[in-house]
């Protein structure tokens, strides 16, 4: 099953917006890691079939490069993201 994922803005500052078009109801895990591999954010989200909007407050993160991992049944993707100075 292929899911459509949109991330914006990238680069980001205070908030990261994620839109996932899911083919079915499911639970996913979102994790954000820095370049040292340290997990700085993690949450589980329930998706319903269709468009799902997720907002992550990133105000407390330091500027730099991050990797967003989205994992669930039949879904595993990683996206590079850049956090700008506020």
**Tens of pLDDT, residues 6-49:** 999 999 999 999 999 998 899 999 999 999 999 999 999 999 99
Residue 70 in tokens: 């989205």
Find all residues with CB under 8 Å of 80, minimum gap 6, and list them: 65, 66, 67
1: confidence class by pLDDT, cuts 50, 70, 90: very low
- Measured in residues, the chain has a length of 86
CB 63 within 8 A of CB 35: no
**Tens of pLDDT, residues 52-86:** 999 999 999 999 999 999 999 878 999 999 999 86
Name the E strands within the chain: 4-8, 15-22, 26-34, 39-47, 50-57, 64-72, 75-83
């Amino acid at each position: 099953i292929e899911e459509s994922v949109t991330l914006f803005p990238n680069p980001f500052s205070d908030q990261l917006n994620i839109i996932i078009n899911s083919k079915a109801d499911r639970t996913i895990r979102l994790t954000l890691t820095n370049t040292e591999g340290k997990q700085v954010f993690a949450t589980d989200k329930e998706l319903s079939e269709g468009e799902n909007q997720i907002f992550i407050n990133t105000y407390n993160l330091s500027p730099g490069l991050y990797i967003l991992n989205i994992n669930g049944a039949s879904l595993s993707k990683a996206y590079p993201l850049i956090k700008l100075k506020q």
